[in-house]
Structure 1
Amino acid sequence: MTEIAQLRDTLDGERLWDDIMALSTIGALEPKGIRRLALDDQDNHARLWLAKQGWALGCQVNFDTLGNLFLRREGQDDSLAPLLIGSHMDSQPLAGAHDGALGVLAGLAVLRTLQDQGIEHRRPIEIVSWTNEEGARFAPGASGSSWFAGQRAYEDIVAAVDNEGVRFGEALQACLTLLEDYGLVYRPAPFVPHAFIELHIEQGPVLEQLGKPVGVVSGIQGVNWYRIDVEGVANHAGTTPQNARRDAFDGAHELVSALKAATREQDDDLRFTIGKFAVWPDAVNTIAQRASFSIDLRHPDQQVLDALDDKFHALAERHWSGCEVKLKVTSRVAPVAFPDHLLALLRESAGSVCADAPEFVSGAFHDAIHLAQVCPTAMLFTPCRAGISHHPDEHIERQDAEVAVRALAHAVAQLL
Structure 2
Amino acid sequence: MTALATQAPATDPATTDLSTLRINGPRLWASLMELAQIGATPKGGVCRLALTALDGQGRDLVTRWAREAGLAVTVDQIGNIFMRRPGRNPALPPIVTGSHIDTQPTGGKFDGNYGVLAGLEVMRTLNDLGLQTEAPLEVVAWTNEEGSRFVPVMMGSGVFAGAFSLDTAYAATDVEGKTVKDELKAIGYLGTEVPGQHPIGAYFETHIEQGPVLEDHGKTIGIVTGVLGIRWYDCVVTGMEAHAGPTPMALRRDALQVASRLMQEVVACAHRHPQADGVNHGRGTVGMVQVFPNSRNVIPGRVKFSIDLRNATDALCDAMDADIRATAARLAAETGLSIEITPVSAYPAQPFHPDCVQAVAAAAQRLGYSAMPAVSGAGHDAVYMARLAPAGMIFIPCKDGISHNEIEDADPVHIEAGCNVLLQAMLERAG
Does the TM-score normalized on the shorter chain lie above 0.5? yes
Match of 1:96? 108
Deviates more, 1:212-221 or 1:288-297: 288-297
Output the TM-score relative to the length of structure 1: 0.81
Give the letter aligned to residue 351 of structure 1: Q
Structure 2 Cα separation of the partners of residues 138 and 293 of structure 1: 24
* Displacement after TM superposition at 1:198 (Å): 0.9
Structure 1 Cα separation of the partners of residues 380 and 94 of structure 2: 20
Structure 1 Cα separation of the partners of residues 221 and 321 of structure 2: 35
Establish whether residue 172 from structure 1 lines up as the match of residue 186 from structure 2: no
Output the TM-score relative to the length of structure 2: 0.79
Deviates more, 1:365-374 or 1:258-267: 258-267
Provide the aligned C-alpha RMSD in A. 3.8
CA contact (8 A) 1:220 1:362 kept: yes
Match of 1:187 among 171, 179, 193: 193
CA contact (8 A) 2:228 2:377 kept: yes
Match of 1:207 among 207, 214, 219: 214
Structure 2 Cα separation of the partners of residues 177 and 165 of structure 1: 17
CA contact (8 A) 1:232 1:324 kept: no
Structure 2 Cα separation of the partners of residues 56 and 380 of structure 1: 26
Give the letter aligned to residue 213 of structure 1: T
1:331-363 deviations in whole A, cap 9, x for unaligned? 323231x23322222222112222453223333
Gaps of 5+ in 2: 1-9, 275-279
Structure 1 Cα separation of the partners of residues 146 and 292 of structure 2: 27
Structure 2 Cα separation of the partners of residues 281 and 315 of structure 1: 25
Gaps of 5+ in 1: none
Structure 1 Cα separation of the partners of residues 420 and 230 of structure 2: 31
- Structure number with larger C-alpha Rg: 2
* Displacement after TM superposition at 1:107 (Å): 0.3
1:295-331 deviations in whole A, cap 9, x for unaligned? 3321112212112334556788979997785724223
Establish whether residue 220 from structure 1 lines up as the match of residue 227 from structure 2: yes
1:89-120 deviations in whole A, cap 9, x for unaligned? 22233222111111111001012223344433
Structure 2 Cα separation of the partners of residues 306 and 14 of structure 1: 46
* Displacement after TM superposition at 1:220 (Å): 2.2
Equivalent residue pairs, number: 408
Against the structure 1 CA distance between its residues 174 and 288, is the aligned structure 2 distance closer, same or farther, given a 3 Å change threshold?
farther
Structure 1 Cα separation of the partners of residues 117 and 124 of structure 2: 10
Establish whether residue 390 from structure 1 lines up as the match of residue 397 from structure 2: no
Give the letter aligned to residue 73 of structure 2: V
Please give the secondary structure, in 2, of the residue aligned with 1:358: strand
CA contact (8 A) 1:352 1:407 kept: no
Give the letter aligned to residue 224 of structure 1: R
Percent sequence identity over aligned pairs: 36
Match of 1:73? 85
Match of 1:341? 355
Structure 2 Cα separation of the partners of residues 381 and 263 of structure 1: 23
Structure 2 Cα separation of the partners of residues 185 and 300 of structure 1: 36
Match of 1:62? 74
Structure 1 Cα separation of the partners of residues 172 and 99 of structure 2: 22
Please give the secondary structure, in 1, of the residue aligned with 2:21: helix
Deviates more, 1:213-222 or 1:314-323: 314-323
